[in-house]
Amino acid sequence: MKIEIWSDVMCPFCYIGKNNFEQALEKLPFKGEVEVEWKSFQLDPTLDPKETKNTIEYFREKKGFPEAQATQMLSQVTQMGKGAGIDFNFEKALITNTFSAHRLLHLAKKHQKSNEMEEALFIAHFIDGKNVGDTDVLVSLAENLGIDREEAIQAVTSEQLDYEVNQDIMEARNNGVSGVPFFVLNGKYAVSGAQPVEVFENALQQTYKETVSPFKDLSGESGASCDADGCSI
């Protein structure tokens, strides 16, 4: 069963959604049959990749939020994060353009390490306060996952993976996705937002039952039938 997840590195609800989704998946007997594919989405592609802002400053300048309102909102998100096992550090988080981070995610996908990279990017941004638009930071994250340094430098500083990033973004737009996280379950159902563990668990179970698990025999007792060995009544 394939799960596609559209996400942006600087979206706190994407990190919460990831943790809640993974907690739900751990409870299910078919977790080994689930393939997760992370897809790129940019919440604010207009940001200058050479600049950073702190979170309060960003909300004040970009969203027009008074500082008190932004602080209250971040406090609420921090509490939500604790419920998902995340200790957000918004005071250190640096807002910047995430396109290069998405390039790195697609490089990691080629090495079958996209989930590990997604987690590493979230930690770098929300916990460690690192600039996830900085080449040295991104290359260091790649090296920590065993990806060659020169390959990582080429990936995040050139246009070689731009097509893949833009394809994800276009696919989201074509499907009417305007916010993240956005989960598509085996091409049949969607879950939008950082839902509680129970919602993910129920959605995964329903999707598996309807799209993967064998047909349920509703006839009760066996009736007359034929198989490779002949027919029986």
**Alpha-carbon span 45 to 99, nearest angstrom:** 8
| Of 182, 185, 220, nearest in space to 206 by CA | 185
Q: pTM for the complete prediction?
A: 0.90
Burial of 65 (0-12, 13-18, 19+ CB in 10 A): middle
All domains in the chain, ordered by first residue: 2-211 (3.40.30.10)
Residue with tokens 């998902």: 84
Taking only the tens of pLDDT, the chain with its 233 residues reads 999 999 999 999 999 999 999 999 999 999 999 999 999 999 999 999 999 999 999 999 888 889 999 999 999 999 999 999 999 999 999 999 999 999 999 999 999 999 999 999 999 999 999 999 999 999 999 999 999 999 999 999 999 999 999 999 999 999 999 899 999 999 999 999 999 999 999 999 999 999 987 654 444 454 455 544 555 55
What is the DSSP secondary structure assignment for residue 203, as one 8-state letter?
H
DSSP per-residue codes, 45-87: TTS-TT--EEHHHHIIIII---HHHHHHHHHHHHHHHHHTT--
Which two structure tokens, joined as six digits, stand for 174? 């074509």
Backbone angles phi, psi at 227, to 5 degrees: -135, -165
pLDDT in tens, 116-163: 999 999 999 999 999 999 999 999 999 999 999 999 999 999 999 999
Q: Which amino acid is at 199?
A: V
Angle formed by the axes of helices 149-157 and 135-144, nearest 10°: 140
